[in-house]
Structure 1
Amino acid sequence: MRETLTTALDLMFGHEGGYVNNPKDPGGSTKYGITHKTLAAHRGVSGVSPAEVKALTKQEATVIYQRSYWTQSGGDLLPVGIDFMTFDYGVNSGPAQAVKSLQRVIGVVADGIVGGQTLAAVKGYKGDLIGAYAAERLRFMKSLKTWSTFGRGWQKRVMNVETQARQLTQGSVLDTDVLEASAKANPIDTSITQTLKKPEAWGPLGALLTAAASLFSGSGPVQWALAVGIIVGIAVGLVSILRKRGEA
């Protein structure tokens, strides 16, 4: 077993976080990135409850990652950096898919198995393999029907994994807290455009526009002062709405 597995697992747990059960996520109840189906398969049972998933320990998750993802994605064979990238990709989309994407980048038959031909092509690759592999992974993710829901989080994850892979090749110590990015986009990660579509945002926005009109059409120090005060007050209210949507 390669020593970098320990670092890869630390980074993985930094990405995956704790228990989630997003109704928009087809994976269902998940903890440490381990879905209920993966956990059931590992335990040799037909199914597990959300409570059992929630009770999953990091120790058992480590065993699952090592047996079912690290080895199958070529973790002990591929160069440092690329090994972590295929491992992370494999957790997100399946080891076979992760390897096939790598094989497409290096120009060999995409059979999902890391063999001699794949290893030779990786070693002989001319160019920035880390960057090319990250771009291919992102291309694949954009083809998924759930991209509109989780795309923002996925893109952040791919970018972070690329950064971490480069640091691994340089033997750097990685701060997993700083580079943490979940595989599932946060459902409350709402853009300002989406927030302004909400009815509660239009009340203060309308008042803000009215005050602005008064400001530019009025003539007198009192009217100007009142208009400025209204604008400031409404602007603060709008910022408060945006902040609350980010914390909900």
Structure 2
Amino acid sequence: MRETLTTALDLIFGHEGGYVNNPKDPGGATKYGITHRTLAAHRGVQSVTPAEVKTLTKEEAIVIYRRSYWVQSGGDLLPVGIDFMAFDYGVNSGPAQAVKSLQRVVGVTADGIVGGQTVAAVKAYKGDLIGAYAAERLRFMRTLKAWPVFGRGWRERVVSVEAQARQLVKGKVTITDAYTASAKANPKDQSLTETLKKPEAWASIGGLLSGLGGMASGSGPIQWALAIIMVGAFATGAYFLIKRMQDQAA
């Protein structure tokens, strides 16, 4: 296997968090980006429990990545940089989807299999393939039902992967063990819409609005000036309120 795989694995673990089991994540119980279904298939059993997923070791995760993602995503055939992008995409959305997106960008039949035609089209591509591939991955993600909940984290991850791919091309990439923006369900990655669905958010905001209404009930210049001040205070208070609720969800 190509030497890029070692670096790609380090980068993957820098993106993937530990154990998560968010009910809003269709992947279910997941660790290191390995879902319970993938783990069960790797072990040759019908299913595994969340507890078994939680005890998954990094060593076993590496074996799964090598056997079920790197080769299937075209890791040993695609140019450096694109190989990592397809690998990372494959970990989150499945190797076939990662390859199909790449094939759409380069203009060949999207069959999800990296063959000679796909490799030739990738090498012959005129323009910024890294940027185009990242954009196509985001386009696909925006079609997913979970985008309103996890879209922010997904977008950040794609941006990070794009930057790392460019570094790989230059032969200089920064490896970090810190979890950045996994495309898996991170409870903190809640959109404003999701946060405002919570009753406690509206209870607090309702109190602020009530105060604003009472202050602006008069018609004199003093009341209007105070109302304007209250609008600014309300906006600031609402921002920190929502931010705090999102942080508490983590």
* TM tier relative to shorter chain: 0.7 to 0.9
Matched residue, 2:189: 189
The sequence identity of aligned pairs, in percent, is: 68
Q: Within the alignment, does 1:209 sit opposite 2:228 as a pair?
A: no
CA RMSD of aligned residues (A): 2.9
Change (3 A) 1:231 1:121: closer
Counterpart Cα distance in 2 of 1:238 and 1:111: 48
Counterpart Cα distance in 1 of 2:10 and 2:84: 11
Counterpart Cα distance in 2 of 1:74 and 1:155: 23
Counterpart Cα distance in 2 of 1:36 and 1:178: 23
Report if the CA contact (8 A) 1:14-1:180 is conserved.
yes
Counterpart Cα distance in 2 of 1:231 and 1:110: 52
Deviation for aligned residue 1:45: 1.0
Deviation for aligned residue 1:200: 2.4
Change (3 A) 1:19 1:205: same
Give the aligned length.
Answer: 243
Change (3 A) 1:168 1:195: same
What is the correspondence of 1:17-166 to structure 2 with a 5 Å cutoff?
17-166=17-166
Deviation for aligned residue 1:31: 0.3
> Aligned AA for 1:199?
W
Deviation for aligned residue 1:129: 0.6
Deviation for aligned residue 1:151: 2.3
Deviation for aligned residue 1:71: 1.1
> Aligned AA for 2:247?
E
Q: 1:91-111: CA deviations, max 9, x gaps?
A: 111111111111111112222
> Aligned AA for 2:137?
R
> Aligned AA for 1:136?
E
Deviation for aligned residue 1:234: 7.2
Query: SS where residue 7 of structure 1 aligns?
Result: helix
Q: 1:161-200: CA deviations, max 9, x gaps?
A: 1111111111123243678211135333345565556322
Counterpart Cα distance in 2 of 1:99 and 1:235: 44
Deviation for aligned residue 1:86: 0.5
- Scaled by the length of structure 1, the TM-score of the pair is 0.85
Deviation for aligned residue 1:124: 0.9
Report if the CA contact (8 A) 2:11-2:176 is conserved.
yes
> Aligned AA for 1:217?
G
**Higher alpha-carbon Rg:** 1
Q: 1:114-141: CA deviations, max 9, x gaps?
A: 1221111111111111111111112222
- Highest RCO, 1 vs 2 (Cα 8 Å, sep ≥ 6): 2
Counterpart Cα distance in 1 of 2:181 and 2:195: 22
Query: SS where residue 19 of structure 1 aligns?
Result: coil
Change (3 A) 1:206 1:82: same
Change (3 A) 1:36 1:8: same
Deviation for aligned residue 1:232: 9.4
Counterpart Cα distance in 2 of 1:194 and 1:27: 19
Counterpart Cα distance in 2 of 1:193 and 1:164: 31
Report if the CA contact (8 A) 2:10-2:175 is conserved.
no
Query: SS where residue 23 of structure 2 aligns?
Result: coil
Change (3 A) 1:193 1:145: closer
Deviation for aligned residue 1:219: 5.5
